[in-house]
Amino acid sequence: MKKIAVLTSGGDSPGMNAAIRAVVRKALYHNIEVYGVYQGYQGLINDDIRKLELGSVGDIIQRGGTFLYSARCPEFKEKEVRQKGIENLRKRGIEGLVVIGGDGSYRGAQRISEECKEIQTIGIPGTIDNDINGTDFTIGFDTALNTIIESV
């Protein structure tokens, strides 16, 4: 694998920037080109995909949310719309897609995986809801819980 992309989708949550940074740093360490998809699946459709370097993620770890921004994209449920996003990945030779988000984000990644076998997808659980099966705590849940406790 020589090129991957990372996107954040749905509601943002604390810790997403740290996850993005880890993906970018590890990929670059292994000589894999990394692209950021801005505005989640909407950015995938609109071709808002930019190459990321170490400098792109150097100062993001302390920022809240996600520097790639995030958006809900109901139209991504339509196959024709997804195909446009898939084509935007293909034209760059992107072979892997890392999706950080919740259950809706996972469904989008699953659809891409089913419809485009040459692009491998992986999901990183990022939601304050902590409702992703197979994980004890999602990215963002601990911060959300502690904020609630401190408020009470």
Catalytic residue among 103, 129, 131, 136: 129
- DSSP sequence for 59-79: T-TTSSS-TT-----GGGGSH
Sign of CA dihedral 143, 145, 146, 151: positive
Of the candidates 111, 129, 124, 132, the residue with the CA atom closest to the CA atom of residue 7: 124
- Dihedral, CA of residue 139, residue 143, residue 148 and residue 150, to nearest 10: 170
Q: Is 129 a known active-site residue? A: yes
Q: How far is CA 28 from CA 33, 60, 129, in A?
A: 6, 17, 31
Nearest to 74 by CA among 38, 110, 105: 105
Active site residue ranges? 129
